[in-house]
Amino acid sequence: MAKSHSQSTRFHMMAKPVSYRCNLKCDYCFYLEKEDMMATHPSERMNDGLLKRYVRDYIRAQDDEEIDFAWQGGEPTLAGLDFYRQVVKYQQRYADGKRITNSFQTNAVAINHQWAEFFAEHGFLIGVSIDGMPEIHDRYRISVNGRPTFERVKRAIELLKTHQVDFNTLTVINDQNWQRGKETYQALKALGSQFMQFIPIVGDRRAPTGGALFARQNRQARALLRPSPWLRPVYDRCLRPMGATGCRPDLHTRV
């Protein structure tokens, strides 16, 4: 006879309510190619029926007392503020005594007082995509009409701080900033980031046979995955004097 036992079900999902749609056109974004591929199948916002089922089933499928919803994109603000008001209503309806949290990764250019008030009221954790100094950020993170976005992101961060919204930063390490770890760290610190995530770009190429894609690390990317030149200056010059004991190997830094 089979032995009965209980097993906790725990998993994490990211929802993309507007799929690949975005209000920026960052040169290094892998979704740019998908826009061409999907030109005949326009992306639409997640409809209310699907949203309701997603929230309900995601909560019911897990045994944890705390459940985190992660909202990403594309750019999740394109779903509109009313969409997330409905998210919260469904979460409250189906929580069944569980604690519900929300994390939200955004380029932040659409964040205004209304968004910030909503995030504060419902305890959203906001991840802000920003590439450090203005001249670095504006090299790749541009609007759809080619305009710089750093100042808009900076204003959004100030709004989040004004409304006491918890936020962290996500920085893409690219050919413009890969040797400027200390400066990038200091720029993010000056903006008020207490938790920094760094993601190195790794290029793709097609395999000689079969057409399969595989990751090919270029010189910059390989260097980023070693302590120098990125992490070592940040740790030695910035974190060690503050009493930090090290950085996580996946390029996350808590300060």
Buried b (16+ CB within 10 A) or exposed e, 24-36: bbbeebebeeeee
Tens of pLDDT, residues 230-254: 666 665 655 555 554 445 444 555 5
pLDDT at 200: 81
**Secondary structure class of 76 (helix, strand, coil):** helix
pLDDT at 79: 97
Name the percent of the chain lying above pLDDT 90.
55
Cβ atoms within 10 Å of 116's Cβ, excluding its own: 21
pLDDT at 13: 87
Which tops the pLDDT comparison, 47 or 201? 47
Instruction: Indicate the pLDDT class of residue 207, thresholds 50, 70 and 90.
Output: very low
Which tops the pLDDT comparison, 9 or 18? 18
Within the chain, strands assigned E span: 14-15, 66-71, 99-106, 125-129, 167-173, 195-200, 203-206, 213-216, 252-254
Structure tokens at 143: 């609007």
Tokens 């326009």 belong to residue? 42
pLDDT at 39 over 90: no
pLDDT at 4 over 90: no
CA-based nearest residue to 156, from 245, 75, 212, 249: 75
Gyration radius (Cα) of the chain, Å: 20
Cβ atoms within 10 Å of 183's Cβ, excluding its own: 15
pLDDT at 5: 39
Tens of pLDDT, residues 46-96: 999 999 999 999 999 988 899 999 999 889 999 999 999 999 999 999 999
User: What would you measure as the largest C-alpha separation in the chain, in angstroms?
Assistant: 68
Phi, psi of 228 (to 5 degrees): -120, 145
CA-based nearest residue to 168, from 189, 139, 148, 143: 189
pLDDT at 168: 96
pLDDT at 153 over 60: yes
First to last CA, the chain: 53
**What's the chain's average pLDDT?**
81
pLDDT at 217: 41
Tens of pLDDT, residues 178-197: 888 889 999 999 999 999 99
Query: 35-39, 180-184, 217-221 — which is least confidently predicted?
Result: 217-221
pLDDT at 171 over 90: yes
d(CA 96, CA 115): 27
Q: Which domains does the chain have, with CATH numbers?
A: 12-106 (no CATH), 126-255 (3.30.750)
